[in-house]
Amino acid sequence: MDEFDSSNTVDTKTIQALDAAHYLHPFTDPAALAASGARVMVKGDGIWLWDSDGNRILDGMSGLWCVNIGYGRQRMSDAVYQQMQILPFYNSFFNTTNVPAVMLAAKLVELAPANFNRVFFTGSGSEANDTIVRMVRRYWELMAEPERHIIISRTNAYHGSTIAGVSLGGMAGMHAQGGPLVPGIVHIDQPSYLEHGHGMTEDDFGVAAAGWLEERIKTVGPHNVAAFIAEPVQGAGGVIIPPTTYWPEIQRICDKYGILLVADEVICGFGRLGAWFGSERMGISPDLIAFAKGVTSGYIPLGGVLVGDRVADVLTARGGDFNHGFTYSGHPVACAAALENIRIMEEEGLVARVLDDTGPYLNAAFKRLIAHPLVGYADSFGFVAGLNLVRSKGATVHDNEVFDGDVGVGMMCRAHMFEAGIIMRAVGDRMIVAPPLVMTHEEIDEMVKRIALALDNTLAELRSKALLPVAAIA
Rule CB under 6 A: say whether 294 interacts with ligand PXG.
no
- In whole angstroms, the minimum distance from the beta carbon of 260 to ligand PXG comes to 17
Pair 119, 111: CB distance under 8 Å:
no
Report yes or no: 225 and 191 within 8 Å, Cβ to Cβ: no
- For the CB of residue 335, give the shortest distance to ligand PXG in the complex, in Å: 16
Q: Starting at the earlier edge strand, list the strands of the sheet with 430-433.
A: 375-381, 384-389, 430-433, 425-427
Q: Shortest Cβ distance from residue 277 to ligand PXG (Å)?
A: 13
Q: How many other C-beta atoms are found inside a 10 Å radius of the C-beta of residue 419?
A: 13
Measured over the CA atoms of residue 451, residue 64, residue 84 and residue 75, the dihedral's sign is positive
* One-letter amino acid for residue 293 of the chain: K
Nearest to ligand PXG by Cβ — which residue? 125
Mask 304-323, x = binds ligand PXG (CB under 6 A)?
--------------------
Closest C-alpha among 397, 412, 426 to residue 460: 412
Locate the DSSP E strands across 182-251.
185-188, 225-230
Examine residue 450 and tell whether it contacts ligand PXG (CB under 6 A): no
What's the Cα-to-Cα distance from 190 to each of 105, 211, 232, 365, rounded to whole Å? Answer: 32, 12, 11, 26
Q: Of 231, 249, 280, 287, which lies in the binding site for ligand PXG, with binding defined by CB under 6 A?
A: 231
Residue 158 CB, nearest approach to ligand PXG (Å):
5
Among 47, 105, 132, 266, binds ligand PXG (CB under 6 A): 266
CB of 423 to ligand PXG, least distance (A): 12
Neighbours of 183 (CB within 10 A): 8
Q: State the minimum distance, in angstroms, from the CB of residue 257 to ligand PXG.
A: 24
The least distance separating ligand PXG from the CB of residue 300, rounded to whole angstroms, comes to: 12
Q: How far is the CB of 294 from ligand PXG (least distance, A)?
A: 11
Nearest CA among 25, 42, 80, 53 for reference residue 332 = 80
Restricting to residues 124-163, which ones interact with ligand PXG according to CB under 6 A? 124-126, 129, 158-160
What is the smallest separation between the CB atom of 419 and ligand PXG, expressed in angstroms? 21
Site string for ligand PXG, 184-203 (x = CB under 6 A): --------------------
Whole-number minimum distance, CB 94 to ligand PXG, in Å? 26
Residue 398, classified by CB atoms within 10 Å of its CB into exposed (0-12), middle (13-18) or buried (19+), is middle
Per CB under 6 A, 302 contacts ligand PXG: no
Q: Which residues ranging from 333 to 372 are in contact with ligand PXG (CB under 6 A)?
A: none
The one segment of 262-270, 309-317, 398-406, 439-447 that binds ligand PXG by CB under 6 A: 262-270
Residues 311, 140 contacting (CB under 8 angstroms): no
Compute the distance between CA of residue 412 and CA of residue 414 in angstroms, rounded to an integer. 5
Using CB under 6 A, pick the residue from 210, 236, 334, 385 that binds ligand PXG: 236
Give, in order, the Cα–Cα distances in Å from 249 to each of 231, 237, 330: 15, 22, 35
From 123-131, 210-218, 381-389, 390-398, give the range in contact with ligand PXG by CB under 6 A.
123-131
Under rule CB under 6 A, residue 431 binds ligand PXG: no
Candidate list 264, 280, 340, 429; residue touching ligand PXG; CB under 6 A? 264
One character per residue 4-43, x = contact with ligand PXG (rule: CB under 6 A) = ----------------------------------------
Crossing angle of the two packed helices 246-257 and 202-220, in degrees rounded to 10: 20
Rule CB under 6 A: is residue 51 a binding residue for ligand PXG? Answer: no
What number of other Cβ atoms are within 10 A of residue 380's Cβ? 23
User: CA–CA separation, 159 vs 171, rounded Å?
Assistant: 9
When asked if residue 267 is in the footprint of ligand PXG (CB under 6 A), the reply is yes
Q: Give the x/- contact pattern for ligand PXG in 77-116, rule: CB under 6 A.
A: ----------------------------------------
Site size toward ligand PXG (CB under 6 A) is: 16
- Residue 27, Cβ neighbours under 10 Å: how many? 8
Edge-to-edge strand order for the sheet containing 185-188?
A: 116-122, 303-308, 288-291, 260-264, 225-230, 150-154, 185-188
Phi/psi region, residue 466 (left: phi>0; alpha: psi -120 to 50; beta: rest), is left
Nearer to ligand PXG, 57 or 164 (CB): 164
Angle between helices 332-347 and 74-86 (to 10 degrees): 150
329 touches ligand PXG by CB under 6 A: no
Q: Which residues bind ligand PXG (CB under 6 A)?
A: 64, 124-126, 129, 158-160, 231, 235-236, 264, 266-267, 292, 303
